[in-house]
Structure 1
Amino acid sequence: MLSRLPTVSGVVDAPYQRDLFGERWADVDGNGCDTRNDVLARDLSAVVFREGSGECKVLEGVLVDPYDGHTESFTSGEQTSPLVQIDHIVALAWAWRHGADRWSDAERLVFANDPANLVVTADEINSAKSDSGPAEWMPPAAASVCGYVIAWVSVVDAYDLGITGPDREAARSALTRC
């Protein structure tokens, strides 16, 4: 899969703008729940939903972080919700620089809300990862590298994005150890 990804420079003329990826956490699958709560419900254990929300609004849960293996408690609230975040495995800004700048608004909205490209993680890890590809960032836990790189390459391939030489080499190197 990695070998068939086109090589690109990662430089585009139009600057990245988050709003071009549409409504944050839209209900693109039509189940009545926004994407953020769908992903929280999928990735957390011991989930508690708001009563009467139709199992849509996650109030509490426990995260075993996919990137470092640490356990984090999640409690919904203005001060606490930002501590556990939803990460785009292939970051929106990275995708923009590698082909998403040519997509329609509808395609960008689907990408931004695709559960295959989303995981729950701690805010520090999401901030450290930022909009990096594998050449610039890998999960802090060695045991998490394979899963991350496999998911990252799968998303890049599924959306026909290009890849830079350094990201290709970092992904290839990681995959040889899986």
Structure 2
Amino acid sequence: MLHGCATDKQAGRYPQEVETPHYGKPYNRKDWPHWIDTDGDCQNTRQELLIASSTIPVKFKDSRHCTVISGKWFGVYTGKIFTKASDVDIDHIVPLAHAHRHGASDWTKKQRTEFANDFENLLVVSDKINQAKSDKAPHEWLPPRKAYWCEYGKRWEYIKHKYKLIYTKQEETALNALAKTCR
């Protein structure tokens, strides 16, 4: 269990529901090391995810194979296909700032790095959609493509449980509504 996370006490399906999140120390994106090269092959987390998510072999900037420039990615939030790496962002399903406000503000650098680079919390999406989502929770933002709502809710809930992050009542209401789209 990560230090500083919600307790295992259950309130409904969700750990430690609160009316408003606890902010702790202020969020600073620089405190969340992301896009790191964990295996020393010159490909950071972004590049590794672009390679893994492309439905065709990717093309690289040069012979070192460090930077992906093209591939074929399906944007699950919009249903659109992207072929240029410069047209996509990597979305944290549960955003870093949201995690910070919901139980992760006292995590160690190692814990923040793990969360920021966790493939289970990352998706290739359009840069415009990622910017529109920002650090919003499901009660504040949903993917435009309704066919993905069920999966989005499941993945959000999975990550929040995995890292024992705190839920708000508004999140619970939104997640319950998303669960109904799964039927």
Q: TM-score, normalised by structure 1?
A: 0.87
Check if 1:44 corresponds to 2:54: yes
The aligned counterpart of 2:154 is 150
CA distance in structure 2 between the partners assigned to 1:172 and 1:102 by the alignment: 29
Instruction: Check conservation: 1:49, 1:56, Cα contact below 8 A.
Output: no
Q: What residue number does 2:73 align with?
A: 63
Q: Cα offset for 1:90?
A: 0.4
Following the alignment from structure 1 to structure 2, what is the Cα–Cα distance between the partners of residues 56 and 46?
Answer: 17
Q: In the alignment, does 2:174 pair up with 1:163? A: no
2:115 aligns with 111
**Structure 2: 5+ residue stretches without partners:** 1-9
Give, in angstroms, the shift of residue 166 of structure 1: 0.2
Deviations 1:157-178 (A, max 9, x none): 1001001110111011111220
2:181 counterpart letter in structure 1: R
Q: SS in structure 2 opposite 1:150?
A: helix
- The code of the aligned residue for 1:84 comes to V
Q: Matched residues, percent identical?
A: 35
Q: Structure 1 unaligned segments of length 5 or more: list them.
A: 76-80
Which of structure 1's runs of 4+ aligned residues deviate more than 4 A?
A: none
Q: CA RMSD in A?
A: 1.8
Cα deviation for residue 71 of structure 1 reads: 1.4
* Aligned pairs, number: 169
Q: In structure 2, what residue type is equivalent to 1:14?
A: K
Given residue 160 of structure 2, which amino acid in structure 1 is its aligned partner?
V
Supply the distance in 2 between the matched residues of 1:48 and 1:116 (Cα, whole angstroms): 21
CA distance in 2, matches of 1:48, 1:154: 29
Q: Which residue of 1 aligns with 2:23?
A: 12
1:61 to partner: Cα distance: 0.9
Distance 2:57 2:100 in 1: 33
Pairwise mapping of residues 62-101 of structure 1 onto structure 2 (< 5 A)? 62-75=72-85, 81=86, 83-101=87-105
Q: What is the deviation of 1:56?
A: 4.4
1:57 is aligned with what amino acid? T
Amino acid across the alignment from 2:26: P
